[in-house]
Structure 1
Amino acid sequence: AALPAADRARLLLRINPPGTPWHADDLALVARLAAARAIAGVVLPKAESADQLARLAEAAGPEAVLVPLIESAAGLAALDAIAAAPQVLRLAFGHLDFQADLGMACDAQEAELVPVRLALVLASRRADLAAPIDGIATDWRDTERLTAEAVRARRGGFGAKLCIHPAQVAAVHAALGPGAEELDWARRVVEAVAQAGGGVVNLDGRMVDAPVVRLAQRLLALDAQA
């Protein structure tokens, strides 16, 4: 209650997963907080069905956003239904719990999880959601690994990364956001197309068509929300 309204409008509450002894009490708490406009939405761990999200949406109210964490084989199997559930803002990947659920033991490269991450990106695109959120880096002091993970996330189509410590935020923003050269290119693309009145144009000896314009617009949108 002491938080300013602008901060409450950005606050997501992570509750306990369905099937735990605390989930029902958490849903009741979500309903009270949502009614008081104390939170913007809810993060649901171990999301495994659209029905779970429907019950959560009922408790949180129609204005709340939902962020399901995909952390199990069952969650992966229900990915499209979860992504299409009402009020879902974007998907998030709980890669550590996912490994535990499947008995995996990935190294730092996590090559075994490439197809799983791609599945989240594809499901997000099919449901017209924002790009998904990648999992945490457990050692908040290891900036080099954090940056490498965030760069990998961006290359793979993710648009955000979960953090466990405020010290991680700057590195994640730097790695996931567009660089100065990318922004300069994006502005020149948009300007060239505008001057040409649309259609296909040539910029720096390369063809610029609709997919390239969409990429440029996405980079500029990312910069605007930083």
Structure 2
Amino acid sequence: MTATAIARSYLFVPANRPERFAKAHASGADRVILDLEDAVSEGDKDRARQLLADYLAAGGTGLVRINATQTRWFEDDVRACLKPGVLGVVLPKAESAAQIAEVAKHLPPEVKVLPLIETAAGMTNVAEIAAARGVERLIFGTVDFRTELGIEGDDQELLFFRSMLVLASRAAGIAAPVDGVTVSISDVDELRAASTRGRRLGFGAKLCIHPAQVAEVNTAYRPTEAQLAWAQRVIDGAKSSPGAFQLDGEMIDAPVITRAADLLRQAGRLPS
């Protein structure tokens, strides 16, 4: 048997556009986020929630991005997430472990919370949030974060903050975080560079805002066949050679074996 591959791509689709749901699921995205927040105007929140309920009742599935805990839509949104088919709840403007607890207490244990870190307060408390019970993994809301802090770029300008999410996730023992969106839908080179950067920094996945972005993101966050072949040889060697050993002229010890296991786990190839 193999472990389940870790999700690499998360595709947003507005919850008030049910005609797009099937296309989103057919895009190859590992997770579809049915969005009740930013993609839906204030006047359409209730209708979007009802369309979401209808979709779930008909057998639909997905993550749900609810509205923030301090909004008037929060409680109705959380109640909508109690229906079968909800695979997780994305919490915007996550700023404390108490907010995570407020969401998690309404949900069955198998439905986890994915906090969006997109404010200065959220970043300040990122370690606390990552360690909160019920958290599956962190998401970096780069657009809102840059807006609040007055940051003009999405590359080196956010390096420190991206590393904070990676560090907090590892310390909390949860999956590697999800990087923010690339807003340019048609610029493949920009998307590829952003995806490669996120992977190299330690992110495990990326948000997508259009189905056309999914394939590139999946490729960037998927270990190559050469990497997986190397990882399997390391794991096989570790079984027959306890402690440190040599492979292709390189010393293999515990940290390298852990890295090999992580690569196989990402691809769902680690024996259980």
Fold conserved between structures, TM > 0.5: yes
Q: How does 1:1-226 map to 2 (within 5 A)?
A: 1-3=57-59, 8=61, 11-30=62-81, 34=82, 36-106=83-153, 110-196=155-241, 198-224=242-268
Query: Could you tell me whether the CA contact under 8 Å between 1:121 and 1:157 is conserved in 2?
Result: yes
Letter in 2 for 1:151: T
- Please state whether the residue corresponding to 2:86 is helix, strand or coil: coil
CA distance in 2, matches of 1:56, 1:68: 10
**Equivalent-residue separation in structure 2 for 1:155 and 1:89 (angstroms):** 21
1:65-105 Cα deviation digits (max 9, x unpaired): 00000001000111111111111000000011001111111
Q: Which has a greater percent of strand?
A: 2
> Which structure ranks higher in relative contact order (CA pairs < 8 Å, sequence separation ≥ 6)?
2
The structural deviation recorded for 1:188 is 1.5
Unaligned 5+ residue runs, structure 1? none
For 2:111 and 2:223, how far apart are their aligned partners in 1?
29
SS at match of 1:80: helix
Q: Which amino acid aligns with 1:209?
A: D
Measure the CA separation in 2 of the matches of 1:178 and 1:47.
30
Count of aligned residue pairs for this structure pair = 213
Report deviation, 1:195. Answer: 2.5
Q: Which runs of 5+ in 2 are unaligned?
A: 1-56
| TM-aligned CA deviation for residue 165 of structure 1 | 1.4
Q: 1:52 deviation in Å? A: 1.0
Q: State whether residues 41 and 60 of structure 1, in contact with CA within 8 Å, keep that contact through their aligned partners in structure 2.
A: no
How many Å separate the matches in 1 of 2:113 and 2:185?
26
Give the C-alpha shift of residue 63 in structure 1: 2.3
Q: Quick one: which amino acid aligns to residue 77 of structure 2?
A: D
Q: TM-score, normalised by structure 2?
A: 0.75
Report the AA paired with residue 43 of structure 1: V
Question: What CA distance in whole angstroms lies between the structure 2 residues aligned with 1:49 and 1:194?
Answer: 43
- 1:60 alignment partner, SS class: coil
Q: Percent identity?
A: 47
Q: Which moved more, 1:59-68 or 1:97-106?
A: 59-68
Q: CA deviation at 1:140?
A: 2.1
The CA distance in 2 between the partners of 1:132 and 1:61, in whole Å, is: 23
Give the Cα–Cα distance (whole angstroms) in 2 for the partners of residues 103 and 129 of structure 1: 30
Counterpart AA for 1:203:
L
The one-letter amino acid paired with 1:16 is N
Distance between the aligned counterparts of 1:174 and 1:93, measured in 2?
Answer: 20
